[in-house]
């Protein structure tokens, strides 16, 4: 049997897509500003896990599915205004050209993600997009993706920007790389994950031997 190629499973919001401002607008819209989540008080939330955030904002667990569904609809309406982080298209292209098979697994809506990928000429780099992963059940979503795509866990690496991505990856039994340009605080990520990168160049260096990296400006 041929050796399976390495697989990267990307988160979307905060990892590929710079959607943080729209996320804040959407959160306040769907909650009628009840939780007053602003750029000035977000720092504390960035250091918390998802259960801690839910508790801090006093969101009832039974309300989560409704808020998530409502949020997805609002984010989908604004997907045309979401852009990739600077240089992300080239980074994804470089990883693809160096033999990685790539997927996206996100709590966002798959249709909206595909619209984004098409708009930014990135569709061809991803084998599939999996959306609507639960806020508190991402490990199950990871396992479902791996089973459906007939992947081997030891070949898979999840790449995300949140503490819950690290926790879900550990629970699913796969490696994880955290990026600190998204939602969660970099120091908070480093407290639970040894593989944290602060730039796309660092990400490429971690994933591809130096001699085989296609040069980037």
* pLDDT one-digit tens code per residue, 89-137: 999 999 999 999 999 999 889 999 999 999 999 999 999 999 988 766 8
Residues 123 and 179 placed together within one structural domain of the fold: yes
93 and 120 assigned to the same domain: yes
Going from the C-alpha of 122 to that of each of 84, 118, 136, 214, the distances in angstroms are 10, 6, 28, 18
| Domain shared by 151 and 56, yes or no | no
Residues 58 and 159 occupy one common structural domain:
no
- Let me know whether 14 and 28 are in one domain: no
Has residue 80 got a pLDDT over 80? Answer: yes
* One domain, residues 75 and 90: no
63 with 108, same domain: the answer is no
Give me the number of domains the chain comprises.
2
Contacts of 11 (CB under 8 A, 6+ apart): 104, 105, 106, 158, 159, 160, 161, 162, 165, 182
- Domain check: are 185 and 163 in the same one? yes
Write down which residue in 29, 50, 80 finishes a domain.
80
Last residue of a domain, one of 61, 80, 99: 80
Look up the domain containing 70 and give its range: 20-80
pTM: 0.85
* C-alpha Rg value of the chain to the nearest Å: 17
pLDDT at 1 over 50: no
Residue ending a domain, choose from 35, 56, 80: 80
Q: Same domain for 102 and 30?
A: no
**Residue 51 pLDDT:** 77
Which of the pair, 193 or 70, is modelled with greater confidence? 193
Q: Do the domain assignments include residue 217?
A: no
User: Are 48 and 154 part of one and the same domain?
Assistant: no
**What are the pLDDT digits (tens) for 48-76?**
777 777 777 777 777 777 777 777 777 78
């Amino acid at each position: 049997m041929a050796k399976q190629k390495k697989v990267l499973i990307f988160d979307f919001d905060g990892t590929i897509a710079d959607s943080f401002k729209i996320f804040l607008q959407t959160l306040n819209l769907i909650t009628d500003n009840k939780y007053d989540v602003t750029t000035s008080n977000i720092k504390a939330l960035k250091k918390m896990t998802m259960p801690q955030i839910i508790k801090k904002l006093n969101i009832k667990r039974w309300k989560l599915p409704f808020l998530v569904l409502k949020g997805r609809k609002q984010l989908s309406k604004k997907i045309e205004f979401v852009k990739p982080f600077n240089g992300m298209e080239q980074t994804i292209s470089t990883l693809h050209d160096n033999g990685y098979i790539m997927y996206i697994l996100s709590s966002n809506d798959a249709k909206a993600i595909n619209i984004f990928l098409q708009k930014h000429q990135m569709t061809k780099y991803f084998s599939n997009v999996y959306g609507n992963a639960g806020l508190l059940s991402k490990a199950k979503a990871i396992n479902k993706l791996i089973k459906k795509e007939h992947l081997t866990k030891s070949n898979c690496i999840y790449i995300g920007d949140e503490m819950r991505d690290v926790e879900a990856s550990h629970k699913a039994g796969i490696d994880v790389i955290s990026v600190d340009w998204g939602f969660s605080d970099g120091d908070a990520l480093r407290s639970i994950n040894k593989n944290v990168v602060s730039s796309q160049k660092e990400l490429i260096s971690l994933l591809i031997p130096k001699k085989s990296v296609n040069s980037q400006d």
